[in-house]
Structure 1
């Protein structure tokens, strides 16, 4: 049996800080501590503390705020956290994934509104078929994610805005390439969770089919909300 490599000091400190957040019941926006606080508590130098902060920031666990009144704060909802709520985990290049999600989410209201305004009978038929596929895929995360990507890509194809569509599809594929499907033992990946995500997508499709732009915007907002 091959033994796992020992944690670096920065990795160990990052793990301690994550435990501190849980033990103290800290929530989004709460101050965890300043650089000086962590130096006094751990005895580590500034370089080690900075590396631990970077690791936690890349995971989406903390926000780093410089200057007076700054320090480490519990992260608010951000792209990496939301990624974990879409049945994916970051495999590599987490900052790049976060940037891709941010761009994709910024474009999604425009893409969805365009779909509501411009959907044709053929588009509606295709969306309903893909939604049926999503319903049938709730038995497993891999199948569900493949069906989920296919549905969103088809929605994007409706938009007459070729530049927005191209960027949106590129970001979607970037996320897929740099992230992996979450493991089946993650509590958020239960059948109930998949059904909840299915309901979100049913409403999105129905709003687009109805041609109701305001309803579609609300559905997109619900789609982005952490579950």
Structure 2
């Protein structure tokens, strides 16, 4: 059975103040597994061996293991020969893990925008087909907020992304919904450094109108209109790049 030698090559840096020790340990273990191409079934060691290796308290290790099991990264096997093993991940689990690694892998907000441009059409079609009375009410309020906020570029950007996120929440396609919202979350978390008001030309009357028309087509249940506005929205985004 494989041993844990490759993992022990990764030093644990206690000076990393970006997150808690448990979060840092999660990151280091994930990086070790990925960087060393550790196959499913690779034995990382026992809990006691890992605790001593990284010099952490039992509670800290337990929290890191809990997170890694939830992410589908680790398996815990009891009994003789047991311990912590690299888990067999389904394609969807790997996709979710890759989404979490966007920043670490160097994805820019503009790369994410290019993917969202492609997904917008499906989101718009789903939203127009499946919107409920509650969706209609909340979209109507978001449109009003967007109109009021437009003179303020920073607030207008926030409202634009709130609208996109809310449209995606309507879709019954869990994969589409999840991917879209995670990309929006990544972009909005990076707005201050990667996407400025000038990039978006938030003051543009065309940009305001296309978002209003998109939301209103969804509110009416007009799939053709929503699809047309999604395509128009894509054209505006490409014109700005």
TM-score (norm 2): 0.50
Are the equivalent residues in 1 in contact too, given 2:157–2:202 (CA < 8 A)? no
Segments of 5+ residues of structure 2 without an aligned counterpart are: 1-104
Asked if 1:153 is matched to 2:165, the reply is yes
- Aligned equivalents of 2:106 and 2:150: distance in 1? 27
Preserved CA contact (<8 Å) 2:123 2:171: yes
Partner residue in 1 for 2:230: 220
How many Å separate the matches in 2 of 1:202 and 1:148?
10
Q: Which residue of 2 aligns with 1:211?
A: 221
Q: Distance in 2 between matches of 1:169 and 1:103?
A: 12
Deviations 1:135-182 (A, max 9, x none): 000111101001111111111111111111000001111112233352
Which of 140, 149, 158 aligns to 1:128? It is 140
Q: How far apart, in 2, do the equivalents of 1:190 and 1:153 lie?
A: 18
Cα distance in 1, alignment partners of residues 199 and 137 from structure 2: 34
Match among 163, 183, 198 for residue 208 of structure 2: 198
Q: Indicate the residue corresponding to 2:101 in structure 1.
A: none
- Separation in structure 2 between the aligned mates of residue 98 and residue 142 of structure 1, nearest angstrom: 18
Distance change (3 Å), C-alpha of 1:190 and 1:220: closer
TM-score after normalising by structure 1: 0.53
Shift of residue 188 of structure 1?
7.5
CA–CA separation in structure 2 for the residues paired with 1:179 and 1:133: 20
Which has the higher Rg, Structure 1 or Structure 2? 2
Corresponding residue of 2:153: 141
Q: CA RMSD in A?
A: 2.4
1:98-149 residue CA offsets vs partner (Å, 9 max, x unmatched): 3312222221111111000000111011000000000000111101001111
Aligned length: 132
Alpha-carbon spacing, 1:200–1:139, altered in 2? closer, same or farther (3 Å): same
